[in-house]
Amino acid sequence: MKKYWIFAVLAAAFMIAEVYVDMLQPKLMAEIVDSGILGLGNNGTPDIALIKTTGIKMVLVVLLGGLCGMLSGATSNICSQGFGNRIRKLCFDKIMHLSFQQTDSFTTGSLITRVTNDVSQVERLVSRMVRGFIRCLMFMFVGTFTLMSLNVHFLAVVACAFPLVLLDIILILRRVNPMFSEQQARIDAMNTVVQEDIKGVRVIKAFIQEKREGERFNKANTDLADMQFKILMTLAFLRPVMNIILNLATVAIIYIGGFQVKAGAMQPGEVMAAVTYISQILSGMMMLAMIFQTLSRGMASVKRLNEILDTDPVIVGGDQVTDKSTPAAIEFRDVHFRYPTGVQQEMLHDINLTVAPGETLAIIGATGSGKTSIVNLIARYYDVTSGQVLVDGIDVRDYDLKALRDKIAFVTQKNELFSTTIRDNVTLGAPDATDAEIEAAARAAQSWGFIQEQPNGLNTAVAEGGMSLSGGQRQRVAITRALLKGSGILIFDDSTSALDLKTEAALYKELNTHYRGITKVVIAQRIATIMRADRIAVLSGGTIIACAPHDELMQTCEEYREIADSQMKKGGAA
């Protein structure tokens, strides 16, 4: 809030002025009634001139109050929206720096809810606190003082009404407060379903599961609606009870005022002013109840936002740096690894492996054998459970994270493209790349041909997730992006599975010709993809059972030979 304190102060000042104007109105009205209409100070003769002048004063006062109210609203909105904008940026920045295991534990749906819905709740809280809190307190305390100045007997009415109103607020909010956190959790659950179903809509349609997913969404939506209904039904008792107290207090003021007028201690206009003041006082208390409701909602959101802001990344970089483009050696020393969340069994154990600078290492193995886990450890998306992963003889935990990841060009199994142009997607790791450099990388990745066929070439817009491109085209754009980055280590995590053998062969020919000096780690399921690698590591059960060139493995590794024979139809089941 420090950045916006001046707007908060101005909003409060303008609100004080607006309330002061509202407090003047009953006195002016009392003057019109007593002196103007009833003529109590003029032998019962109405004073038309006083009515006119006082009426003009009231109009001017109302206009001034309206102007102050508008300025208070404008400055408080600048304050709350600026505050919300800053919190949203801070949360997003923190999310971008969280480790994979932390984002997994929060879940995507929950993070989206926190950055959108929860920030909106906090914005509303700030706006209410800056304006409404001051307004209701002034009505309550200044109104009470003014009411007592008219007649001290009115204090008894206020003294009876206050505890009843406070009791109503306390009982209702005490019951509803825990519901707000549960409501936000149910919004998380619904957003998770929506996010998963929109992202997986092709799978849903392919398996004709629209009805099933509709039922899953309906359950999450109904759970949320039930909780919201429960909250609203609880809060529904708040205002009617306060209205009853307000009307009883008004009757009491008129009753007491009637006796005071009869006794000559008050004038009728003052009784009217007293009725207005008691209405303002109790309206202030009703407003205070609404603020406490907003406060309860906002504090539930504050807690959820602080869970993000107070979470420090599990993976923190060191101070070692390295040249981005120099080919690097990679070494695994007695590495063991299990994922921090989920299944607690070891994904990798007893991994000992060295990759020389400029060497091409291929990795093959059954599904779940730990292939992706190995390359994730190189880029330090996760930390080893025990052992060491070294790049150029330095433990990856000692590297500055930006320097380490800048050293690695990673093409993942799932090729994430963004809803922008092809140019913006391929230059993600090299924003200053020239058209000639882009073309060279695209030709090597076998993507230049189809890019040229697009309506606007490199400037063609890509749909969300790259869905306007085929699977093979998405893979080639992702490979172009990796090659253009110019890193010393290139990792392919089953990144050519959607390419036909001819295109894949052309790609690897280019890699072996123009990118020969780069250290390459290639994960693949096809023997044809990896057989020309310098060495091939065979994974089974989370450990390396053999590592050698293709010809040697065919002679010495039965498991590799079975895979090769099954694919090449030489002695195995086709």
The domain spanning residue 134 has which CATH number?
A: 1.20.1560.10
What integer is the mean pLDDT of 309-319?
A: 89
- The predicted structure's pLDDT at residue 343: 63
Give the tens place of pLDDT for each residue, 130-161: 888 888 888 878 877 887 777 777 778 878 88
**Is residue 139 domain-shared with residue 186, that is, in the same domain?**
yes
Packed helices 210-235 and 154-199: angle between N→C axes, nearest 10 degrees: 170
Give the tens place of pLDDT for each residue, 269-288: 778 878 888 877 877 777 88
Q: Distance between CA atoms of 97 and 99, rounded to whole angstroms?
A: 7
**Is residue 361 domain-shared with residue 281, that is, in the same domain?**
no
Going by their DSSP bridges, the two strands 348-355 and 519-523 should be labelled as unpaired
- Is residue 315 included in any domain, yes or no? no
Distances (CA, A) of 431 to 405, 426, 437: 16, 9, 11
Range of the domain at 471: 413-486
Q: Distance between CA atoms of 380 and 388, rounded to whole angstroms?
A: 11
Q: Distance between CA atoms of 36 and 52, rounded to whole angstroms?
A: 9
**Is residue 421 domain-shared with residue 282, that is, in the same domain?**
no
DSSP for residue 459? G
Instruction: Say how many CA atoms lie within 13 Å of 143 toward its Cβ.
Output: 30
- The predicted structure's pLDDT at residue 35: 77
pLDDT at 570 over 60: no
- The predicted structure's pLDDT at residue 330: 95
Residues counted in the chain: 574
Look at 264 and 357; give whichever has higher pLDDT.
Answer: 357
Going by their DSSP bridges, the two strands 408-411 and 489-493 should be labelled as parallel
Q: Last residue of some domain: 486, 518, 544? A: 486
**Is residue 342 domain-shared with residue 361, that is, in the same domain?**
yes
pLDDT at 574 over 60: no
What HEC string does 465-477 produce? HHCCCCHHHHHHH
Could you tell me the pTM of the whole model?
A: 0.75
How much of the chain, in percent, has pLDDT values that exceed 70? 98
**Is residue 72 domain-shared with residue 188, that is, in the same domain?**
yes
Cβ–Cβ < 8 Å for 284, 136:
yes
What integer is the mean pLDDT of 308-317?
A: 90
Q: Last residue of some domain: 309, 335, 365? A: 309
47: alpha, beta or left? (left if phi > 0; alpha if psi -120 to 50): beta
Residue in 369, 173, 388, 150 with CA at minimum distance from that of residue 288: 173
**Is residue 466 domain-shared with residue 497, that is, in the same domain?**
no
Contacts of 12 (CB under 8 A, 6+ apart): 72, 130, 131, 134
- Is residue 316 included in any domain, yes or no? no
Cβ–Cβ < 8 Å for 521, 355:
yes
- Is residue 572 included in any domain, yes or no? yes
Give the tens place of pLDDT for each residue, 229-263: 998 888 888 878 888 888 888 888 888 888 888 77
Buried/exposed 485-507: b ≥16 CB within 10 Å, e otherwise = bbbbbbbbbbbbbbbeeebbbbb
Mean pLDDT over the full length of the chain: 87
* Residue 572: band (very low, low, confident or very high) from pLDDT cuts 50, 70, 90: very low
- Is residue 543 included in any domain, yes or no? yes
Q: Distance between CA atoms of 10 and 524, rounded to whole angstroms?
A: 64
Give the tens place of pLDDT for each residue, 481-500: 999 999 999 999 988 888 88
- Is residue 270 included in any domain, yes or no? yes
Name the amino acid, one letter, at 203.
V
- The predicted structure's pLDDT at residue 337: 94
Give the tens place of pLDDT for each residue, 378-394: 999 999 999 999 999 99
pLDDT at 60 over 80: yes
Residue 460 is part of a domain; what is its CATH number? Answer: 3.40.50.300
Distances (CA, A) of 422 to 446, 455, 506: 14, 11, 22
- Is residue 137 included in any domain, yes or no? yes
- The predicted structure's pLDDT at residue 519: 94
DSSP for residue 398? G
**DSSP-derived 3-state class of residue 333:** strand
**Is residue 304 domain-shared with residue 433, that is, in the same domain?**
no
- The predicted structure's pLDDT at residue 569: 65
| Backbone angles phi and psi of 330, in degrees to 5 | -125, 135
What integer is the mean pLDDT of 81-101?
A: 91
- The predicted structure's pLDDT at residue 383: 93
Both tokens assigned to 177: 């407060």
- Is residue 317 included in any domain, yes or no? no
- The predicted structure's pLDDT at residue 224: 92
Residue in 260, 292, 288, 290 with CA at minimum distance from that of residue 273: 260
Give the tens place of pLDDT for each residue, 450-474: 999 988 999 999 887 778 888 889 9
**Is residue 30 domain-shared with residue 122, that is, in the same domain?**
yes
Number of domains in the chain: 3
What integer is the mean pLDDT of 25-45?
A: 76
Angle formed at CA 163 by CA 157 and CA 166, multiple of 5 degrees: 130
Burial class (CB in 10 A: 0-12, 13-18, 19+), 452: exposed
DSSP for residue 311? P
Cβ–Cβ < 8 Å for 50, 35:
yes
Instruction: Say how many CA atoms lie within 13 Å of 236 toward its Cβ.
Output: 7
Q: Distance between CA atoms of 291 and 238, rounded to whole angstroms?
A: 13
Q: Last residue of some domain: 288, 309, 330? A: 309
What integer is the mean pLDDT of 43-68?
A: 86
- Is residue 421 included in any domain, yes or no? yes
